Amino acid sequence: MPIQKLTSTNAFVAIDIEGAPAAGIVRSAPKILQGGASDLARSLTYAFATLEMQRSGASAGINATPEDRDAAIAAFVEELTPDVAEGKLSLSAAKGVTADSLAALSDADDRNAVASADVDGDTLDVHLTGLGAVVAAEAATGGLDGKRILIEGFAEHGPALAAAAAARGATIVGISTTAGVQLNADGLDSSALREGWAANGPGLVGEDAEAAWKIFGADADVLFAGSKMGAINHDTAGKLNVGAVVPHAAIPYTARALAVMTKNDIVAVPDFVSTAAPLLAYWPEDAGADAGSVVSAATDAISSIINETKGHDDGGFLGACYRAEAFIKTWQDAAPFGRPLAS
């Protein structure tokens, strides 16, 4: 995968398909690994292909200590603004980077303003991040009514995910954040989770919460996973007590974890499908689309793709990979080497 190293600061951008308009996230820390960035870019490439968009995934890293971070981000923004203005690149803030610090890039890029529209207290892109995972889960499992769910890595889009799942009849029996885990067999109220997140962020689980990893051993029907890349490795996968895993963030499981889940008859939904919905807000087919029509289009697309691929002889994950790769080959000589799984 091509890696563009910046000249003005210690930073890089991984772009999966050269020459294609690319999009992804920017992270900053003392050491951002290029391998992880490449994994994130690959997942986005497959998400674009899933939605039949001729775009490439990208992922950027800014290597800087906390005291040097502001200056490093400013240099990063200045160097890449021309590429963004020309439509070559779109970047969003992630770990270690604020949206305000990338304001110049956001102002220059070609993403549709509808992504910022308010939907039930969230911006449309945040709403779709939660909703897309729920729609994928619903299609993959035959419906969520009466099912018990866990949300691992509950974060900004957690309230939207919880609300969408509850609206479909699911009972939320546990969540985990960076601060710990909260489990309740009788169910957690989605409205209370939204209020708790607004007031306390990750601390909504309480001061005495147990370790976040304990959510992986909890009993449920569906686990929504997404705290970090590779959150579910082969050891963790062997301890799961759920019928399905549905990513709400990029590449939460490794190749070995996928093999273990397949062996144990756990449905492993492909992350590049369940996380793809926000892309339809950034680049809707109709540039004049409103939030309601984007939500409808995203719901139909995610549901249709999961239903099309879940019965594949090689499993739903590979079935979705084959589908995405077939589209990439309609506009590229070959699909990129290596499938979207955590290293």
3-47+54-110 matches 122-321 in fold = yes
Length of the chain: 343
Residue partners of 236: CB distance under 8 A and separation at least 6: 213, 216, 257
Residue ranges per structural domain of the chain = 3-47+54-110, 122-321
Closest CA to 303 of 276, 324, 321: 276
pLDDT value, residue 59: 96
Contact (Cβ atoms closer than 8 angstroms) between residue 306 and residue 316: yes
For 299-323, what is each residue's pLDDT tens digit?
A: 999 999 999 999 999 999 999 999 9
End-to-end Cα, the chain, rounded Å: 14
Pick the CATH number of 3-47+54-110 from 3.30.1490.190, 3.40.50.10860, 3.40.50.300, 1.20.1740.10: 3.40.50.10860
Cα 46 → chain centroid: 12
CA atoms within 13 A on the CB side of 253: 33
- For the whole prediction, is pTM greater than 0.85? yes
Q: How far is CA 255 from CA 16, 181, 237, 318, in A?
A: 20, 26, 11, 11
pLDDT value, residue 200: 95
CA gap 111, 121 in Å, rounded: 21
SS3 category, 313: coil
**From first to last of its 343 residues, what are the pLDDT tens digits of the chain?**
889 999 999 999 999 999 999 999 999 999 999 999 999 999 999 999 999 999 999 999 999 999 999 999 999 999 999 999 999 999 999 999 999 999 999 989 989 999 999 999 999 999 999 999 999 999 999 999 999 999 999 999 999 999 999 999 999 999 999 999 999 999 999 999 999 999 999 999 988 899 999 999 999 999 999 999 999 999 999 999 999 999 999 999 999 999 999 999 999 999 999 999 999 999 999 989 999 999 999 999 999 999 999 999 999 999 999 999 999 999 999 889 999 999 8
CA gap 251, 340 in Å, rounded: 7
pLDDT value, residue 1: 82
Contact (Cβ atoms closer than 8 angstroms) between residue 61 and residue 69: no
Residue 337: phi and psi, rounded to 5, are -80, 130
- Record: fold of 122-321: Rossmann fold (3.40.50)
What does 15-77 look like in DSSP terms, one character per residue? ESSTTS-EEEEEEEES---HHHHHHHHHHHHHHHHHTT---EEEEEEEE--GGGHHHHHHHHH
